[in-house]
Amino acid sequence: MIERHSAEYSKVTWGLSLGSFLVFCNLYVFQPILPQLSQHFAVSETEINWVFAAATLALSLSLVPWAISSESLGRRAVMLTGLFLLPVIGALMLLTTSLLSLVMLRALMGFALAAFASVAVAYMVEELSSEAFNNAIGGYIAANSLGGIAGRIAGGVLTDIFDWQTAVIVIACFTFVCVLIVAWLLPQQKHFKPTRGMFRHHNRALVMHLSNRNIWLAMLIGGVNFALFVNLYSVMGFRLVSEPHNLPIAMAALIFLCYLAGTLSSKWSGIWSRHFPPITGMALGATISLCGMLIAIVDTIPAMVVGLLFISGGAFFTHTLAYAWVSQKAQQAKATATALYLVHYYIGGSLGGFFLLYCWQHSQWLGVVEGGGILYLLLFALCWKLKLVSESVLTVNSPA
């Protein structure tokens, strides 16, 4: 196994972090320009959300098939296949002339993004020692947040100065260069054992993971957490470009710098998990995020920024701990388990967008607080239930 501080450890963590950065940069490039696209295509906030939701839904539905294929093809081959597809799809977007074609290509983009997202953590679990993995997972998820920041700010600024097509082609060219670097950095796996012709086995693994409440509840926590986090940002984008603030898209996109709080909290989660119970940390992250939503009730830009810092820090803290929980509690078919976590994660993000944007359309931020409050109550209930289930599992497995 690869140990922390070794040369191979550096190559693996840098390669996977750069790949993660590219995935989230491409996934979120359209999020800050949804208000502008809504006006351009003359559709409502919930309708234009399909540009974002198509990618996340397709990603969620493709995760398990990619994970299953990686059990025979290998994690590295699957990850690189998905990454090399990204700039090709980006180039095809330049030919789109309608909202429908753009949504379809965004769905295809989600399919490609799923290849990397579904198996990267399984690659780490199989190749890194336990100590190295616990240290690396925080950095990997921190790269998620950095990629999300870069994609959103680049999308907003380039669209404001030029147009959305310019933003897409710049991201596509940048992605192509970086994928070559990832391919060079990422070593072949030494501890991967291919399992061919075992489709039925993987179907059983899906049922096994979903029937294991100690794992499934953490997946649900990830889904509800992401439904809140990513869509509170989407709503905030519409809020800032509307009356009375009327910010330009480029300025509104700068709110995604608040993701840096998530970058820091992802790293801190590794420290937390070494000293305190992970489930307590998940609930703590949800509490911090809830405080951020409430702070943002104050209708001033400084209050919104502080609120988003709390939302980002808390949500990423919860996400990192829940993600690591699933990958470590799964005793077999780890790629399938982590893919299932991300299925819940991105389905939550997709459906949460339609819910919270509907609340925004009808009751502005107070309506979002009411709708979000329901989701936070659900999140706390899931954390409590996972704690009870985890304690019962420990009791059953402890020696008499």
Q: Are 24 and 144 in contact (CB under 8 A)?
A: yes
Q: Which two tokens stand for residue 8?
A: 């191979």
pLDDT of residue 198: 55
| 74 Cβ contact partners less than 8 Å away, ≥ 6 residues apart | 189, 192, 194
Domain contains 33: yes
Q: Are 187 and 288 in contact (CB under 8 A)?
A: no
pLDDT by position in tens, the chain (length 400): 888 878 888 999 999 999 999 999 999 999 998 888 888 888 888 899 999 999 999 998 998 888 888 877 888 999 999 999 999 999 999 888 889 999 999 999 999 999 998 889 888 888 888 888 878 887 887 788 789 889 999 999 999 898 888 999 999 999 999 999 999 999 887 777 666 655 566 677 778 888 888 999 999 999 999 999 999 999 999 999 988 999 998 999 999 999 889 888 987 887 888 888 999 999 999 999 999 999 999 999 999 999 999 999 999 999 999 988 998 888 777 767 877 898 899 899 999 999 999 999 999 999 999 999 999 999 999 999 999 999 887 666 655 4
Report how many domains make up the chain: 1
Domain contains 1: no
Indicate which CATH number applies to the domain containing 178: 1.20.1250.20
Domain contains 230: yes
Residue-by-residue DSSP string for 244-308: TT---HHHHHGGGGGGHHHHHHHHHHHHHHHHS-HHHHHHHHHHHHHHHHHHTTS-SHHHHHHHH
- Residues 41, 50: Cα–Cα separation, whole Å: 12
Show the domain range for 227: 7-397
**Distance from the Cα of residue 73 to its chain's centroid:** 24
Domain contains 379: yes
Strand partners of residue 128: 2
Domain contains 286: yes
Domain contains 202: yes
pLDDT of residue 400: 47
Q: Which two tokens stand for residue 232?
A: 């509170």
- Residues 59, 27: Cα–Cα separation, whole Å: 9
pLDDT of residue 396: 61
- Residues 184, 216: Cα–Cα separation, whole Å: 36
Helices (H), ranges, the chain: 7-28, 34-40, 45-48, 50-73, 75-93, 99-127, 130-161, 164-185, 199-211, 213-241, 249-253, 260-275, 278-295, 301-329, 334-397
Q: Are 229 and 337 in contact (CB under 8 A)?
A: no
Q: Which two tokens stand for residue 103?
A: 């949504």
Domain contains 94: yes
Domain contains 195: yes
